[in-house]
Amino acid sequence: MRTRQTMTVSLPPAMIQKVEEVRKAEDRTRSELVREALRRYFEESSPAVAATEAELAAIRRGRAQIRRGRFVTLEQLLDALARPTRRPRKKRT
């Protein structure tokens, strides 16, 4: 079973010439070059996830806190999580 399909594309002569120049310089096939160009186009034109305005605002607030030195390191966080949150109390009689 084929894992790829063939697609025909029409390009102006100047673009074909540029494709050939780049292909030869990079020692790649036309297919490799076009696949990479399409991958880059898809990544730039349609990001996987777009942050909401609320998420962007939270990121800005967090960065401001970091600039002010208000943060804990991962080591500090893990240490705090490992400690018991409550001390056992003495039993009342």
Residue 3 in any domain: the answer is: no
Q: Do 41 and 61 sit in the same domain of this protein? A: no
Is there a domain that residue 92 lies in?
Answer: no
pLDDT at 87 over 80: no
What whole-number percentage of the chain has pLDDT above 70?
A: 99
If asked whether residues 36 and 57 sit together in one domain, one would say no
18 and 40 belong to one structural domain: yes
Range of the domain at 72: 53-82
Q: Structurally, how many domains does the chain consist of?
A: 2
Span of 27-36, 49-58, 80-89 with lowest mean pLDDT: 80-89
Q: What is the pLDDT of residue 45?
A: 86
DSSP string for residues in the chain: --S---------HHHHHHHHHHHHHHT--HHHHHHHHHHHHHHHHS-S-PPPHHHHHHHHHHHHHHHTT----HHHHHHHHHS-SSPPPPPP-
Asked if residue 66 is part of any domain, the answer here is yes
